[in-house]
Amino acid sequence: MSRGVFKARRTVSRRSVLLALGGASLLAACGPDKGAWHAGGELPGDSHSGEVSADPMPSVFPSVAPPTPGQCPPITGAGTPRHGGPQYYLPCKGTQIALTVDDGPDPQYTPHMLALLAKYDIRATFCMIGRSAAAHPDLVKQVVAGGHHIANHTYTHPLNLTKQPAAQIRAELHRASEAISNASGGQPTLFRAPGGAWSDAVLSECGALGMRPLDWSVDPRDWSRPGVQHIVDTILTRTRPGAIILEHDGGGNRDQTVSALTIALPRLLDAGYAFAQP
């Protein structure tokens, strides 16, 4: 069995920790549909009410076309990842898609995200900032207990990792893995660069720590709080078999994200999509 091909359990045992930190080996991928870098800072907005809102106006959201197994988006020239580069899509087969959740753990929004995923029996990949994992080890354990994977997302979420010297890149990745390991008991095997900022130096340090680079293909830019309608529309109209969807549970007010996923996730499931982990 290759490193990281696991299925996590719901209890926080040594085995479940190791399983939750793994993933399938990187296979041939399709081209990216990437979004811009996000600052992830606090944005104005109301605090979360503690309730996951229901779909208020079902008719205003687009319908989801049933997926055709193996019908993945075509590879695009400029954005085609080279061999050994980041993963933008799941292997192009079946109707599987992946949900990734960045910039946590967050004491306000991560529990809401976990409750929503549990409701629909979905396993996601949480890309955690190391200092947040160190500050909230209990939330890290809850993510593991839910059967989710944990990816390294640097220790401080720097503006552009590619502009940092090699020693600083190494420190960002190493400190984040150490913080995640201390909280969960296992080492992450996936790494996501903040904003999808990749370079040879970043990929080299990622590989040196035994991690695979993970990117995304569907970005509704929920970090900018563009409105529930925009987030839902983007997810439902751009998701295709193999897609890796980017969402956030940290970095600011995530009310819109939670509300949008409350609408989008059951619709994707009803359309015939199946959630998997990279």
Can you tell me the distance from the alpha carbon of 112 to that of 249, in angstroms, rounded to the nearest whole number? 9
Answer whether residue 145 shows pLDDT above 90: yes
Can you tell me the distance from the alpha carbon of 73 to that of 191, in angstroms, rounded to the nearest whole number? 23
274-275 and 96-104 strand pairing: parallel
Q: How many CA atoms lie within 13 A of 113 on its CB side?
A: 30
Can you tell me the distance from the alpha carbon of 23 to that of 113, in angstroms, rounded to the nearest whole number? 20
Torsion sign, CA atoms 36, 164, 170, 140: negative
Q: Which residue has the higher pLDDT, 204 or 37?
A: 204
Helix (H) or strand (E) holding 135: helix 130-135
Can you tell me the distance from the alpha carbon of 103 to that of 132, in angstroms, rounded to the nearest whole number? 8
Reported confidence tier of residue 8, pLDDT bands at 50, 70, 90 = very low
Q: Which domains does the chain have, with CATH numbers?
A: 14-37+65-73+81-275 (3.20.20.370)
Can you tell me the distance from the alpha carbon of 233 to that of 36, in angstroms, rounded to the nearest whole number? 18
Active site residues: 102, 248
Answer whether residue 215 shows pLDDT above 80: yes
Answer whether residue 57 shows pLDDT above 70: no
Distances (CA, A) of 177 to 115, 120, 173: 25, 29, 6
Reported confidence tier of residue 64, pLDDT bands at 50, 70, 90 = confident
pLDDT tens column, 16-40 = 444 455 544 333 333 334 433 333 3
Judged by average pLDDT, the poorest of 85-94, 100-109, 148-157 is 85-94
User: pLDDT value at position 83?
Assistant: 57
